[in-house]
Amino acid sequence: MNLATSARQRTWLPLAVVLVTQMMIVLDAAIVNIALPDMQQALHIHPADLSWVVNAYTLAFGGLLLLGARAGDLFGRRSVFAAGMVLFTAASLLGGFATAPGQLFAARAAQGVGAALVAPSALAILMSLCSDAKERTRAIGYYTVVSASGAAVGLIAGGVLTSYVSWRWVMFVNVPIGAVVLVASRIALPHNETRRGSFDVFGAVLSTVGMTALVYGFIRAAADGWSDNGARVSFAVALLLLATFVAVERRVKEPVTPLHLFADRERSTAYVARLLLVAGSMGSFFFLSQYFQIVLGWSAMRTGLAFIPFPVTIFISSQLATRVFVERFGSRLVMAVGMALSAIGLLLLSQMDAHSTYGELIVGMVVFALGNGTAFVPLTAAGIAGVAPKDAGVASGLVNVTQQLGGSVGLAVLVTVFATAGDGAATSAASSADAKDIFVTGADRGLGVAAALLAAALVLVLVVMRPRRPQESVVEDPTEQMVLEPEPA
């Protein structure tokens, strides 16, 4: 048995654990969407409060990711992973038994906290196991498939569970999966040695509250308009706290987010481009899921199944990017092509009207998914490239932060565009009361703005990014070695 075969056998189970975990985390942000009407009816949730089923998870996840990433670096990634998985699984169980809106919102927030602990540790562990460049690229490819297609899979799963069982099972489904992953992690996952040193509690609080205020500001703006005083105050608080956070991180000995991670041109550009890519991409799921139900009159089950082309196409394109395109053409060109295809797909979808058929929409859906799968592989690799092992957790956390904040901020912006366009259409269509035309007008405008966000990411990659040479892609730090043998249970 050669060394390469031995390495693959040693990493396949940890890889499976990490991929299932990432699927749970990404899927959970989307799976509730199709179940929202049933949740509202069962728990008597006020329409204005219904968005908190999604936003409670988003705020907690996005706000605490950096804290979870640094905790894994300092206290051991496997231990932090286990703690987060226990919290995530328990919160899912409690959420499934919720009998009041507040209980469901609290459970969703607790899920977000657990996900913030699990996600960065999972990616950092995966990267520590892949010392060979090709092996690492292949692992990133699989991770990309899960990350990029998780939302679509969540919509499919949500439709199936809501139609055939109950909305409560969009929460309960995490319990058996989480329990299996927790047991497997004790056997399969390696651990890094814990580090002695101070923990930047003040910086962690500043970053958490600051990012939460930023996300909340966009949520308020989406719901009540950009002139809403609550949104303005939230943005001001976010700006103040994040500016203070940067000042603190420049001075403390053990920062929760080492600012030198942003000094690398390739890595920092990848973070921003990923945020824009996810921000634009969220519109496709949000608007299409409603289009199928409101305009085409489909059931939740049929709506979920309509998204099957997304994960299938993303899988194929990401594997081609991993095994062929990146090595042959270089990461920056592959990123650019992927973003261009995604933007074209959204532009095609923005041409839909009240009489469009699924057959007409499938072209734009496939082109969009093809671009996403192609772009996410090199973007993920660039986001963790050249990072010393001692910073692997926080760099992985930043990859997830940009994805989560991109989804939250992007959806808030696109929903605001949708609402503004819809109001205009409502005036012109008042005589015929054509609700379908009103929805399509707003959705088309939102998808057009989404395509513009992807175009901005494309320009950023082409103009700003300068990928490092292959020999510079991994920074070795002999003082920080990963222990590959699992701890005793």
- List beta partners, residue 482: 192
Place of tokens 């000094």: 263
**Measured distance CA(476)–CA(11) in Å, rounded:** 20
**Measured distance CA(64)–CA(301) in Å, rounded:** 33
**Measured distance CA(166)–CA(101) in Å, rounded:** 17
Boundaries of every domain in the chain: 10-199+254-466, 200-253
Place of tokens 């008597």: 44
Residue 236: how many other CB atoms lie within 10 Å: 12
What is the torsion angle, in degrees rounded to the nearest 10, for the CA atoms of residue 59, residue 65, residue 71 and residue 76? 120
H/E segment holding residue 400: helix 392-428
SS3 269: helix
SS3 155: helix
**Measured distance CA(385)–CA(52) in Å, rounded:** 35
Closest to 443 in 3D by CA, of 226, 231, 282, 307:
282
Closest to 34 in 3D by CA, of 370, 298, 396:
298
Cβ atoms of 161 and 35 within 8 Å: the answer is yes
**Measured distance CA(130)–CA(476) in Å, rounded:** 13
Residues contacting residue 469 through CB under 8 Å, at least 6 positions apart: none
Residues contacting residue 183 through CB under 8 Å, at least 6 positions apart: none
* CATH code for residues 10-199+254-466: 1.20.1250.20
Cβ atoms of 473 and 326 within 8 Å: the answer is no
User: Where does residue 466 fall: left (phi above 0), alpha (psi -120 to 50 degrees), or beta otherwise?
Assistant: beta
Q: Model pTM greater than 0.85?
A: no
**Measured distance CA(478)–CA(475) in Å, rounded:** 10
pLDDT 10s digit of each residue in the chain, 489 long?
444 444 454 567 888 888 888 888 888 877 887 787 788 889 988 765 777 787 788 778 877 877 787 788 778 888 889 999 999 999 999 999 999 999 999 999 999 999 989 887 877 777 777 766 677 777 777 877 787 677 778 878 888 888 888 899 999 999 999 999 999 888 877 766 666 656 677 887 887 788 778 777 876 776 677 788 888 899 999 999 989 988 988 888 777 777 777 878 888 888 889 989 988 887 787 788 878 877 888 887 888 888 888 888 988 888 888 778 887 888 889 999 999 999 999 999 999 888 888 999 999 999 999 998 899 888 888 887 777 776 766 777 777 778 777 877 787 778 778 877 755 444 334 433 467 778 888 889 889 999 999 999 999 999 887 655 544 444 433 333 333 333 333
**Measured distance CA(1)–CA(95) in Å, rounded:** 48
**Measured distance CA(454)–CA(374) in Å, rounded:** 14
